[in-house]
Amino acid sequence: MKYDNKINEIDKLNGKIDQFRPINKVLLKQIKEYFRISLTYSSNAIEGNTLTETETKVVLEDGLTIAGRPLKDHYEASGHSEAYDMVFDLAKKKTITEKDILNIHRLFYYRIDNENAGHYREVPVVITGTEYVPPAPSKIPTLMKKFVAKIPSLKKKHHPIEAAALIHKELVGIHPFVDGNGRTARLLMNLSLFQAGYTITIIPPILRADYIALIKQSQTGKKDDSGFINFISAMAYESTKDYYRLLKQLCQT
């Protein structure tokens, strides 16, 4: 479960990607759609969604339902896709507000539970598999305001990959929503990366156990963030390699 920090490798690879800029808008749209499917599938699968990557593509691109799959899984795919578009729109600015976070959650969650979509939880929650206890509901509004106020300093103090990982960790720690906290945190992490000029970062479902263990490590015991930061950097490196591969492939056709 040990991951090497890949930040230097990512920055070197981004230097190669810069050689393709300015990137044709048609190519950018193709790449955006490619990552829409990958991120939606992987982020939902981490949370137990049963749709395969191919089925996710069918739901999003063809608007079809998959026989035998729960309706909620279809709603999660559609909602995540809409939130993904919002993240791209929000990336045009350099700030992240509390309203932005609420809107990301609302878009993802309104088909599933409209009453709680985009609203902080009013009930206690238990996270299975960890001794970590999320804050009481009464503390969430204040904690979220402090968290959002802290984001600019995180971005200023840390490398963009580190800052994005810490933003993810902080939101999951507050656990402000009744459900969808992980997916909102991953979308928020990617928003922070986009705003800094980095590509999307995808966490493969096969690495779910490592991902959860490293979040847990950052929340309990010694509360060491380095393992989680290294993990996110490794995921960002793989996603950046994929982005570079797509660019080379599309620019040669």
Written as six digits, the tokens of 227 are 């393992």
Q: Measured between alpha carbons, how far is 114 from 117 in angstroms, rounded to an integer?
A: 5
Written as six digits, the tokens of 199 are 């590509």
Angle at 140 between CA 134 and CA 145, to 5 degrees: 130
* Catalytic annotation, pick one of 74, 105, 168, 175: 175
Written as six digits, the tokens of 99 are 């309203």
Written as six digits, the tokens of 48 are 């137990």
Written as six digits, the tokens of 33 are 């759609």
Angle at 170 between CA 165 and CA 176, to 5 degrees: 130
Phi, psi (degrees; rounded to nearest 5) at 35:
-75, -25
Catalytic (active site) residue 159 = no
Contact, 201 vs 242, CB < 8 A? no
Phi, psi (degrees; rounded to nearest 5) at 64:
-100, 155
| Locus of tokens 């492939």 | 249
Contact, 198 vs 160, CB < 8 A? yes
Written as six digits, the tokens of 189 are 């992490």
Length of the chain: 253
In angstroms, the first-to-last Cα distance of the chain is: 39
Q: Which residues are catalytic?
A: 175
